[in-house]
Amino acid sequence: MSLASDFVNACSVGLVPGAEQIVYTPLATGTPKTIWAVVDRAPPKKDSEAFSVSTLNTVQVTVANDATLGITSVDTGGDMVTLSLKLGDVARNVKVRWPEMMDAGVFQLRCG
């Protein structure tokens, strides 16, 4: 088992709070892909972001770093995710703004 598959397995059986399926559409292929993600709709902001318009209406999305179960690269010039920015809202396409963290198991992305 890999870190990415452990992450997806935990999400799919309800062990991870905030886990849900989202649609990720990379700019490179334009082909939408449904994947498991942890969506934090109230992500912490760095001091430099606290009053920045660029962080309003954004969410933090954690996805598997895996070609089959998630993604393996991020293009902030056009990758999109389909999700609701607020619980209960209709899902819509939002831009992947920047990667916040990446390791062998997951990507953490700021989207909105």
CATH code at position 83: 2.40.10
Q: Is the pLDDT of residue 74 over 60?
A: yes
Share above pLDDT 90 across residues of the chain, in percent, rounded to a whole number: 77
Q: Is the pLDDT of residue 104 over 80?
A: yes
Please measure the distance between the N-terminal and C-terminal CA atoms of the chain and give it in whole angstroms: 32
Per-residue pLDDT reduced to its tens digit, 26-68:
999 999 999 999 999 976 666 555 555 555 678 999 999 999 9
Domain of 30 in residue numbering reads as 3-111
Look-up: residue for tokens 């089959």? 68
The answer to whether residues 97 and 45 touch, using CB atoms and an 8 Å cutoff, is: no
Distance set, CA 8 to CA 1, 11, 48, 75 (Å): 11, 5, 32, 22
What amino acid is encoded at 13 in this protein? V
Look at the chain and report how many structural domains it folds into. 1
